[in-house]
A and B are shown apart, each in its own frame.
Chain A
């Protein structure tokens, strides 16, 4: 018997219309855990680098986390992976809500989708009965509207639906896949649209078995209460009325202007009243004791719930106030557009208009005031009309297509992906590494375990490290105690910090544990995360029956991390792509940064071009990757370790 997981994947080929239930190899669970870990193994095995993201041969995978549907509180993530049409690289995305648990109760750990349907379809998974059904009647419908339709047709409020809106149908790169009050962004919606898969509806009534049930249940009952009482976990954006942090420090418009004194008590009170007026409820994801969703019903607009900083993105891009976000978020979420990248694309277009690179002729009938313009461009993008057809590719590709100097306005992307609008003064070395080398395309999916900034005095630092149990090693406390100025921290510390930050996200994405209880809410917000490297192994062992200690779990992180890097290296990603936006910090030191990157690559066991060495790969049991790299000339046969001689920024081999 398999514990915690079901041991089966659902394999769907939309070109052939075939549906298969395939037993999975338990050894893969031991190597990669589950979730994104095992999904990436499928992507490696089945999607060669020549496959274009919109090709039927690209694969879209929905994975329930290894601990989803177990009693472990807050383990409910569905991880969505594919190759992104925006970056042409690996796409990582997450859904909260109930989908992952329901999928497992239906008897599957994953849905693996390939091919392309001749017309719009949806997938109906009802335990062992799985059907590909006509979805032409749902064409153009919003995400929630689609879910509502399907729940009604399939007769069950327990049917869980993940759907794309018209943005996904029209293969807009900023399209998301939405379920309940969650959105999977960063490049997965357009791939679902390209496969002409409108939605997946799932209902499951099967048991999930636990290896040591009584012990796990008791631990989880007390953890649920602890998490409920712990003010340092969950999404503070949902509960804290003081949002001066984002408004005074993040950049407005097309990631341009900081308004250091924007926040005031008067504003806070006004916004609090606004929220009170329109918020109908705070809700949770499956089996989680935190309330991170503020459900807002704005008059005449679809109900929505914002996601963390997603509350601010639209009004900050438009230089408006919260009421504008309340007005547009319900509409844009129904369209199935990501609220992080979309406002930046619109602000970018309006900046090009102001600069005269795009003219009135590109925007026929556009209103004169900014709110109207945002709605106008939203429509154009979703339906790929006129200039919207170009903007639907995202900032980077749109800038290239527009030309005429538009490229200069593409100043806030990394690896062709829109970054958070953060523009700061002095360099933060661990953040340099995270922004440069992260492959989940956004800082929120790599930061979290270690504080963002030093604390001003030693007493505060000592107080902070006192209860900091999450540290994998005491050296992290030392790094923090000795950290005085943001820009002054040793390369050794920066490398270890970046690595640890990343580790926690990779473990969350394999287990399905939510980052708000774990990776994202570590040292950077109080240092009291509910999950960490010390308590994850026993929880995984109790749930699955696998023998696992901290060293073993860390090695799984390294294996999963290197597999993502390998997928991207095989698709052409190199050192030259690993750079934060030029204006992310005002003060830059190229030489220092490149030395730091050298050191980090060495720390990771990657060569000077950011490619994992054969030794690194083989040690992690990724021999099949190193063999492939050698066959393709990405690595040479006699290379065994990191070599200092290789000039930076150039391809090592195969050139």
Chain B
């Protein structure tokens, strides 16, 4: 394993909340792109991007689905920006028990944004392509990073969440069984 420093590509969707008009084309297009077969169904409830809208308080906030979390936050804080009050949840992309965002409506399984990376990857994510107001723009930057270390971090996080879900003992048993199986 090569532990040396490597360049990695960071994909970024920039969100300009002043430019969002609340049309929700990003939701529609995301859901269509991720349908199987592609585009076969339209359903913003399956989108991995959601526009939080509060008309009276003038809050318009497109939000990308991030990781699943099994529990809601223990406490909250409120952000006051330009005299508008924002709950932290509207900046948080977690698929979380506190709200119905980012869950498959049929199964409740968490949804997560994949930056439309499946083969062949799109030149820019579908939500960005659907946004005619430049509220969503796409940017790729190169950053120094240790790929190998990051992968290990990912593995660790994955194992932790499995342990959370099934218990450490079950997980250890499963790993042991797997290690003993002829396929290795």
In contact, A105 and B55 (Cβ under 8 angstroms): no
Let me know if A281 is at the binding interface, CB within 8 A: yes
In contact, B55 and A303 (Cβ under 8 angstroms): yes
Q: Provide the bound-state CA to CA distance between A217 and B39, in Å.
A: 7
Number of contact residues on B: which range applies?
A: 20 to 34
Q: Given contacts A228-B132, A289-B25, are A213 and B40 in contact (CB under 8 A)?
A: yes
In contact, B32 and A213 (Cβ under 8 angstroms): yes
In contact, A157 and B43 (Cβ under 8 angstroms): no
Would you give the shortest CB distance from B118 to chain A, in whole angstroms? 16
- Interface with B: A37-45, A68-76, A503-511, A517-525, which one? A68-76
Q: Provide the bound-state CA to CA distance between A287 and B37, in Å.
A: 22
- On chain A, the residues within 8 Å of B132 by CB distance are 224-225, 228, 289
Let me know if B23 is at the binding interface, CB within 8 A: yes
Nearest A residue (CB) for B84:
A280
Q: Provide the bound-state CA to CA distance between A144 and B54, in Å.
A: 11
In contact, A105 and B44 (Cβ under 8 angstroms): yes
**Would you give the 0/1 interface string for A130-159, flagging 1 where the beta carbon is closer than 8 Å to chain B?**
000000000000001000100000001110
- On chain B, the residues within 8 Å of A206 by CB distance are 43, 45, 105
Interface residues of B in 114-153 (CB under 8 A from A): 129-130, 132-133
Would you give the shortest CB distance from B33 to chain A, in whole angstroms? 8
Q: Given contacts A144-B55, A157-B52, A295-B58, are A287 and B23 in contact (CB under 8 A)?
A: yes
The number of chain A residues with a CB under 8 A from chain B is 43
In contact, B39 and A205 (Cβ under 8 angstroms): no
Let me know if B15 is at the binding interface, CB within 8 A: no
Q: Provide the bound-state CA to CA distance between A286 and B22, in Å.
A: 7
- On chain B, the residues within 8 Å of A209 by CB distance are 40-42
Let me know if B154 is at the binding interface, CB within 8 A: no
**Would you give the 0/1 interface string for B54-91, flagging 1 where the beta carbon is closer than 8 Å to chain A?**
11101010000000000000000000000000000000
Q: Provide the bound-state CA to CA distance between A419 and B22, in Å.
A: 32
Let me know if B112 is at the binding interface, CB within 8 A: no
Would you give the shortest CB distance from A101 to chain B, in whole angstroms? 8
Interface residues of B in 9-43 (CB under 8 A from A): 21-25, 28-29, 32, 35, 37-43
Nearest A residue (CB) for B24:
A286
- On chain A, the residues within 8 Å of B53 by CB distance are 157
Q: Provide the bound-state CA to CA distance between A286 and B28, in Å.
A: 9
Q: Provide the bound-state CA to CA distance between A221 and B45, in Å.
A: 20
In contact, B55 and A181 (Cβ under 8 angstroms): yes
Nearest A residue (CB) for B101:
A158
In contact, A210 and B25 (Cβ under 8 angstroms): no
Would you give the shortest CB distance from B111 to chain A, in whole angstroms? 12
Interface residues of B in 85-112 (CB under 8 A from A): 100, 105
Would you give the shortest CB distance from B106 to chain A, in whole angstroms? 9
In contact, B43 and A205 (Cβ under 8 angstroms): yes
Would you give the shortest CB distance from B150 to chain A, in whole angstroms? 34
Please tell me which one of the listed residues A204, A208, A221, A285 contacts residue B23 in the complex, with CB atoms under 8 A apart: A285
In contact, B21 and A287 (Cβ under 8 angstroms): no
Interface residues of A in 27-76 (CB under 8 A from B): 69-71, 73
In contact, A213 and B39 (Cβ under 8 angstroms): yes
**Would you give the 0/1 interface string for A277-294, flagging 1 where the beta carbon is closer than 8 Å to chain B?**
000111111111101000
- On chain B, the residues within 8 Å of A98 by CB distance are 24
- On chain A, the residues within 8 Å of B46 by CB distance are 207
Would you give the shortest CB distance from A320 to chain B, in whole angstroms? 26
Q: Provide the bound-state CA to CA distance between A353 and B40, in Å.
A: 62
Q: Provide the bound-state CA to CA distance between A210 and B37, in Å.
A: 11
Interface residues of A in 259-298 (CB under 8 A from B): 280-289, 291, 295, 297
Would you give the shortest CB distance from B133 to chain A, in whole angstroms? 8
Q: Provide the bound-state CA to CA distance between A283 and B19, in Å.
A: 9
Please tell me which one of the listed residues B39, B41, B129 contacts residue A214 in the complex, with CB atoms under 8 A apart: B39
Q: Provide the bound-state CA to CA distance between A181 and B56, in Å.
A: 10
- On chain A, the residues within 8 Å of B42 by CB distance are 69-71, 207-210
- On chain A, the residues within 8 Å of B35 by CB distance are 207, 213
- On chain B, the residues within 8 Å of A281 by CB distance are 21, 58, 60
Please tell me which one of the listed residues B25, B60, B105 contacts residue A287 in the complex, with CB atoms under 8 A apart: B25
Let me know if A180 is at the binding interface, CB within 8 A: yes
Would you give the shortest CB distance from B124 to chain A, in whole angstroms? 12
A-B contact pairs, 8 of them (CB 8 A): A144-B56, A158-B45, A205-B43, A206-B105, A282-B21, A284-B22, A289-B25, A289-B133
Residues of B within 8 A of A (CB): 21-25, 28-29, 32, 35, 37-46, 52-56, 58, 60, 100, 105, 129-130, 132-133
